[in-house]
Chains A and B, each alone.
Chain A
Amino acid sequence: ILNVEQSPQSLHVQEGDSTNFTCSFPSSNFYALHWYRWETAKSPEALFVMTLNGDEKKKGRISATLNTKEGYSYLYIKGSQPEDSATYLCAFTSGTYKYIFGTGTRLKVLA
């Protein structure tokens, strides 16, 4: 059974803190890993699509790394702001239309 796990489930950080969370996925038959941000009352939106081992992607203060051999990806947020408060989802695919989503990490940034 393929499983994607995210940790921690939730965290609270102070404005200005840097933080990171983890997505663990099957290390065999890797095709792509997605990161999404889901703000309350809004649609999930894609942050990164990662396909190659060693990939590092960056968008503003948010970056992500990928290790397909050991089956994990890290998402980093530098200098967290209240507007970063959201649930961050990762999703794994082995090259089919089926994506396996993690349960997400709920981030709350306190002003």
Chain B
Amino acid sequence: DVKVTQSSRYLVKRTGEKVFLECVQDMDHENMFWYRQDPGLGLRLIYFSYDVKMKEKGDIPEGYSVSREKKERFSLILESASTNQTSMYLCASSLPGYGYEQYFGPGTRLTVT
């Protein structure tokens, strides 16, 4: 059974804290994605990685960075958390190239107070 796991389902952090969201996939996929989902909006791409140490900015990268040191793990980093980063964060992976279905993790609901 293919799986994408995320380190936490719920997380509460204070403004200014450094936050790490971890994602691990067991399908040997090259592509990995980080999205956020907010009420009334579709999933929005924060960052994309197509290989180890390779990354591309998505539509809303400001305030975030990513790390991919191993193929199976893709980390999202909030350098200094702010209240407007309170959101649901979803990680996904897919085969290389474009158009392949994405496999999603269960999401992390982050609250920044």
Q: How large is the interface on A (under 10, 10 to 19, 20 to 34, 35 or more residues)?
A: 20 to 34
B61 at interface (Cβ–Cβ under 8 A)? no
Q: Are A99 and B45 in contact (CB under 8 A)?
A: yes
Residues of B within 8 A of A102 (CB): 42
A45 at interface (Cβ–Cβ under 8 A)? yes
Q: Are A51 and B99 in contact (CB under 8 A)?
A: yes
Q: Are B42 and A100 in contact (CB under 8 A)?
A: yes
Q: Given A49, A103, A104, which contacts B101 in the complex, CB threshold below 8 Å?
A: A49
Q: Are B42 and A4 in contact (CB under 8 A)?
A: yes
Q: Given B42, B44, B99, which contacts A31 in the complex, CB threshold below 8 Å?
A: B99
Q: Are A95 and B42 in contact (CB under 8 A)?
A: no
Of A36, A43, A45, A104, the most chain B CB neighbours within 10 A belong to: A43
Contacts A43-B105, A44-B90: A103 and B45 contacting too (C-beta < 8 A)? no
**B residues contacting the other copy or chain, number (CB 8 A):** 26
Q: Given A4, A34, A43, A97, which contacts B48 in the complex, CB threshold below 8 Å?
A: A97
Q: B residues bordering A, Cβ < 8 Å?
A: 4, 31, 33, 35, 40-45, 48, 50, 56, 58-59, 90, 98-107
Residues of A within 8 A of B4 (CB): 43
Q: 3 closest Cβ contacts across the A-B interface?
A: A101-B42, A46-B101, A32-B99
Nearest CB on A from B44, distance (A): 8
Nearest CB on B from A43, distance (A): 4
Residue of A with least CB distance to B44: A101
Nearest CB on A from B61, distance (A): 12
